Structure formats: C-alpha cells, structure tokens
Structure 1
Amino acid sequence: MKALLIIASMLFLTPFWQNNEEDELAESIARGKEIYLNNCIVCHMGKGEGVAKLNPPLAGSDYLLKTPDKAIRAIKYGLQDAIEVNGVKYKGMMPESGLENEEIADVMNYISNTWGNKSERIFDAKIVEGIKK
C-alpha cells in the first residue's frame, strides 16, 4: 500500500516539478535576452548570425551546443585564440564580458535556446562558477 501511495505521489508531483523547471528556464531566457541585447548584439547581431569572417554565429552554432563550457569560458574570461564554428575559423578577439555568473547563465540559456538552437542543458550560476580559466 505504501509503495502505491509513493508511486501515486510521484506521478502527481512530477508534472508540477517539470512545469516549475520550465518556468525557471523561461524566466532565465527572458533575462538572458535583455543581457544579450545590452552586451552581445553588436558583435553577434540580432538573429545570432554573427559577422562573416569576423564574429562567429550563435544561431546553429556547433561550438555553442557541443562545447558549452568553452562558450561559457569565452563569455566569462574573453577569448583571444582562434576557434572553429560550423567549419569556419574565427580569429577575432572577444573581450571579457564583466557579467556576473548568474547573468552568464541567463545569456547561455538564451543563446542556447534561440534561433533554432535547443540545448539539453539548463545553465545556472553554479555551473558558470565552476568554469575556470
């Protein structure tokens, strides 16, 4: 009987937990969009298309989706090394953003779930904090 009660409770609470997580992601994405518009749009453009041969695209970016820790590191500490995105090499310099860990997490949630991107991962300040130079 106890097992049945536990299973019934889990079935009832699971949708609530999932909706709460979806709401938190949606709120993070909304905050991330504002941060993106204030800090990133000049180089990566309004639809994440980047600037050919200068600034890599974020839309459909294999670099962003396959190596998110490297993307976080670039946002957090800047980037001076050449990178390859979707088979194209970029040698431009990206300055350190000066954003707080939570702001970086919000930007990552926004860019990883916009312009056709779909991340399996939800970013938070703790993940960003763990990324070291």
Structure 2
Amino acid sequence: MEAIQIKLTGEIAKYYDVYYRVNSQQFGWMGWAKNGQSSGTSGFGFQLEAIQVKLVKKGGKAPGTTNDAFRDGLKKYVDKRGKGLIKGSKQKIYHIPGSQYYNKTTSPIRMFKTEVEAYKAGFRPAK
C-alpha cells in the first residue's frame, strides 16, 4: 500500500475533521491530509511504514504542516518543449521545481521528467 484516504461519515463528520499522515519508505513522515485527501505516494512502489490519525474540531488548525501530503511519482515536470525539469545532482539527489534546493542546484548532471524516472536512475529524493 502506497497511500491512504480517510473520511468520517455520519454524525461525527459534522463536528470533527480527520487529519492523517503517513511515513513513506523513502520520504519519511509526509504532510497532513484531511477528510478524504490522499496521503502517501503513487507510482513509486514505496510502502507505508506508519500512519498517524488525529481528530480536530471542525475548522480547527491542522496538527502540523499540510505540505507534501501526497507525491505522484508519475507527475510530469517538463518545460514547453517537453524537456525534463527535475534536477539530478552529483550527490545522486534529485530536486523537483519549487523544492528548497532546486534553484541552488546550478550544475545538474542529469534532468528527469518524473520522480519515478529519477528514482529508477539511482537518485534519491531531497529531504
């Protein structure tokens, strides 16, 4: 199993939001998803190693960051000409557009179109 979705039903759904996050084999703890959103990965084949679930009063704050709750490994990152935008560094780490070190990776040794392509080439995701 790579990803989960959890949704409350019945009376409890009127009063609470359900937040949940997963620990993915390669990414570690991911961001919090809520009320039926996907949490985990798709396309990588990474297993879930743990799940956390918290009920929060309707409209309350998330228990933590909601960034990167789900990663679609087959999502294409390409420019207008169809060239890959994922940067592979000398350290065999890949960086997706918008990530913390993407703009600091100025001399990539390889470019990729999807995260799965980078992973299969022996590169690991940036932490």
> Structure 1 length normalisation: TM-score?
0.26
Report the structure, 1 or 2, having the larger helix content.
1
Tell me the TM-score normalized by structure 2: 0.26
Bigger relative contact order, structure 1 or 2 (CA pairs below 8 A, ≥6 apart): 1
Q: Which has the higher strand share?
A: 2
